[in-house]
Amino acid sequence: MGFIMSDSDALKDRLDQFKKRLDDATKKLAMKGRLRNANHLTSGELQARHAFLQSELDKGIVALDAQGDRVGVLEADFMDWLNQIDLEDGKY
């Protein structure tokens, strides 16, 4: 009967090792999914970012106007264009 117990213990150890490897692999896949999904924004997130940047630009123009520096349409368009430049990729 001692022989059967050692086989049972060996099997349990092997199952525990398998479970640990499976849990580790599941965690790695979950992390990869989170990283991959974090790099792809939804349209709602893009719209929220655009709205935020537009409001910041508008606040900047209002602040310049309040200081007496009149911001014309061309300057506002230039500031908007400048905010659209992706400095990391050099794309505009």
Residue pLDDT, tens place only, 24-78: 888 887 777 666 655 677 788 888 888 888 888 888 888 877 777 777 777 878 8
Q: Are residues 81 and 46 in the same domain?
A: yes
Q: Are residues 58 and 36 in the same domain?
A: no
Q: Are residues 12 and 57 in the same domain?
A: no
Q: What's the pLDDT at 74? A: 79
The total domain count for the chain is 2
Supply the pTM of this predicted model: 0.40
- Residues making up the chain, counted from first to last: 92
Q: Are residues 60 and 33 in the same domain?
A: no
Q: Are residues 47 and 92 in the same domain?
A: yes
Q: Are residues 23 and 49 in the same domain?
A: no
Q: Are residues 10 and 48 in the same domain?
A: no
CA of residue 21 relative to chain centroid, distance: 28
Cite the DSSP H helix spans in 1-92. Answer: 2-38, 43-66, 73-84
Give residue 67's domain range. Answer: 42-92
pLDDT exceeds 60 at position 92: no
Query: Who has greater pLDDT, 16 or 1?
Result: 16
